[in-house]
Amino acid sequence: MSELKQEHNLSVAVCPQCKQESRFRHLHDTAHGIEGTHMAGSERFECAFCGFTVTPAMASEFPGLRFTLDGSTPDTEKAG
């Protein structure tokens, strides 16, 4: 019923290491390995060719990569 092996989370951006348009995998760690959770600060994109890692701190240089877990909440942290 659940489709865990999906490759839809690939974004295209210019890799500074490959010097070409590359596919980036959207990665993040789960809390204690629990499916569906997210370890804060672990979100990153990884170049499918060379493994170059883009962190949310570098997001402004990669407009094609959308950080939906860590990067989209600059100052407005929700208490809870």
Using CB under 5 A as the criterion, which residues of the chain lie in contact with Zn ion when the complex forms? 15, 17-18, 22, 47, 49-50, 52
Which CB sits closer to Zn ion, 26 or 38? 26
Residue 14: name the closest of 57, 56, 42, 49 by CA: 49
CB of 74 to Zn ion, least distance (A): 27
Which CB sits closer to Zn ion, 39 or 52? 52
How far apart, in Å, do the first and last CA atoms of the chain sit?
A: 31
What dihedral do alpha carbons 25, 26, 30, 35 form, nearest 10°? -90
Which CB sits closer to Zn ion, 52 or 69? 52
